[in-house]
Amino acid sequence: MAAIKEFRGLRPNKDLAHRIAELPYDVVSSEEAKEIAKGNQYSFFHISKPEIDLPANVNLYDDSVYEAGKINFNRFIQDGYLLQDEQPKLYLYSQVMQGRQQNGLVACVSIDDYINNNVRKHELTRKDKEQDRTRHIETLSAQAGPVFLFYKEDSFKKVLYEEALRLEPAYDFTASDGIRHILRVIDNTSLIDSFIKAFARDILYIADGHHRAASAATVGLNRRKTNPSYTGSEEFNWFLTVIFPHNQLQILAYNKVVKDLYGLTKEAYLKKVAERFSVKKTGIKCPQALHQFSMYLDSEWYTLIPAFNITDDPIESLDVQILQNMLLDRVLGIKDPRTDKRIDFIGGIRGTQELERLVDSGEYQVAFSMYPTTIEQLIAVADADKIMPPKSTWFEPKLRSGIVVHLLD
């Protein structure tokens, strides 16, 4: 099953951890990252989004961007901002958001488990994004951001996590968004061995970071070709992860906004929707259960409930797929939400007020507030070796990059 191992983590100087750690590279724009890092020479965005230090018109995939990341990375190490542990270790990374805590094991996972589907996926990757992270990893010879994994909780590993939680934190800080981050260093060899043995019989699932995982596997396979006598123990055979129990995770809705009604009047649009859904003006902004939808149109909230039988197929029974098949496609003419410019996706962390703002501004005409995909639905899709529709899940809180880095050399 899943092979994990300890490693010599590259970590912030204790006094700088709160200034170095940043959100993942792919949840903020270059402009947002530049604003966040303004006046902070320690920001990890200088490494994960190095275009912030280059002219605004630079192509994000230009060689100079990756080279700037490498220069900044080397400077962080040379100046003592980042320090490598002398011995291989595991780490426990805890996050606290609005009183809810989740605890993940920071470990390296074998790229072979990713390739052989012992690390299960639920999303397609885009070639351009995959190539970008592949170049980033190769240029730095390091994995700068972890892949967010989870496992099906069991009582045996729960005991191990509880033991790790009793360790004194190496870092404990609250970021500007109010989320608390705590890192504990696991250097007890007996506890490390117990974790390794416990996960040896497990399947792991990707929550977030499909492109990071795919890119790490690509880099590893490329290096195997250039090192035909590799043994499997080399660091390029492993990728950086944080592994959480499934029942601690929170999935938020991924809401949707559409620019127009596909040439329909409001009345004609509502009539077409009512052919497949019960449509009631309720004022309810967030669905109360699976297979319910809240729709914002012309300053009013409606509740939509399917007026048809729902299959038990793991994909077709997803609310995002139901909405796509029965409304977005058939009523609004959106055939491919991945490429159609008339639709946009709004992470649930931004709330329904963002949906109201976008529609009230006139930029969009209708919005849909979704019930979150459940972790059990995600597992069912991954176990069936299927792919979720785009923007089906939004995990919160996000893992901070820069708290632990995995070096490949």
Check if the beta carbon of residue 227 is closer than 8 Å to that of residue 399: no
Nearest CA-CA partner of 145 in 385, 351, 404, 409: 404
Per-residue pLDDT averaged across 157-173, rounded? 97
Check if the beta carbon of residue 345 is closer than 8 Å to that of residue 254: yes
Whole-number Å distance between alpha carbons of 302 and 300: 7
Beta-carbon-side half-sphere exposure of residue 161 (alpha carbons within 13 Å) = 21
- Based on the structure, what is the number of domains in the chain? 2
pLDDT above 80: residue 1: no
Which pLDDT does position 338 carry in this prediction?
Answer: 83
Domain-located, residue 391? no
Burial of 225 (0-12, 13-18, 19+ CB in 10 A): exposed
Summarised one tens digit per residue, pLDDT across range 50-96 is 999 999 999 999 999 999 999 999 999 999 999 999 999 999 999 99
Per-residue pLDDT averaged across 360-365, rounded? 98
Whole-number Å distance between alpha carbons of 298 and 338: 26
Which band of pLDDT confidence, cut at 50, 70 and 90, is reported for residue 126?
A: confident
Check if the beta carbon of residue 405 is closer than 8 Å to that of residue 15: no
Q: What is the DSSP letter of 59?
A: -
Does residue 244 share a domain with residue 313?
no
Does residue 267 share a domain with residue 246?
no
Which pLDDT does position 371 carry in this prediction?
Answer: 97
Does residue 260 share a domain with residue 174?
no
pLDDT mean across residues, the chain: 96
Check if the beta carbon of residue 143 is closer than 8 Å to that of residue 235: no
Which pLDDT does position 294 carry in this prediction?
Answer: 98
The residue type at 333? G
Domain-located, residue 86? yes
Share of the chain above pLDDT 90, in %: 94
| Residue linked to tokens 């197929």 | 313
Does residue 224 share a domain with residue 323?
no
Sheet of 254-258, strands arranged across: 277-281, 300-306, 293-297, 366-370, 254-258, 343-347
Q: What is the DSSP letter of 400?
A: P
Domain-located, residue 390? no
Domain-located, residue 261? yes
Domain-located, residue 246? yes
Does residue 123 share a domain with residue 68?
yes
The 3-state DSSP class for residue 383 equals helix
Does residue 198 share a domain with residue 74?
yes
Does residue 259 share a domain with residue 184?
no
Does residue 190 share a domain with residue 95?
yes
Whole-number Å distance between alpha carbons of 315 and 390: 12
Domain-located, residue 21? yes
Whole-number Å distance between alpha carbons of 293 and 284: 10
Beta-carbon-side half-sphere exposure of residue 306 (alpha carbons within 13 Å) = 19
Does residue 204 share a domain with residue 331?
no
Whole-number Å distance between alpha carbons of 83 and 75: 12
Q: Which helix (H) or strand (E) holds 225?
A: helix 210-226
Does residue 139 share a domain with residue 197?
yes
Whole-number Å distance between alpha carbons of 324 and 341: 15
Domain-located, residue 360? yes
Domain-located, residue 377? no
Extract the tokens encoding 332. 């609004």
CA dihedral 190, 91, 83, 112 (to 10 degrees): 90
pLDDT above 90: residue 335: yes
Does residue 232 share a domain with residue 87?
yes
Does residue 274 share a domain with residue 246?
no
The 3-state DSSP class for residue 406 equals strand
Identify the CATH number of the domain in which residue 331 sits: 3.30.1760
Range of the domain at 228: 4-250+396-407
Summarised one tens digit per residue, pLDDT across range 171-183 is 999 999 999 999 9
347: β partners: 254
Nearest CA-CA partner of 246 in 137, 320, 324, 150: 150
Which pLDDT does position 78 carry in this prediction?
Answer: 98
| Residue linked to tokens 């170095």 | 20
User: Buried b vs exposed e over 349-359: b needs ≥16 C-beta within 10 Å?
Assistant: bebbebbbbbb
E strand intervals along 167-249: 169-174, 180-186, 204-208, 238-245
Summarised one tens digit per residue, pLDDT across range 191-245 is 999 999 999 989 999 999 999 999 999 999 999 999 999 999 999 999 999 999 9
Which pLDDT does position 390 carry in this prediction?
Answer: 80
| Total-model pTM | 0.92
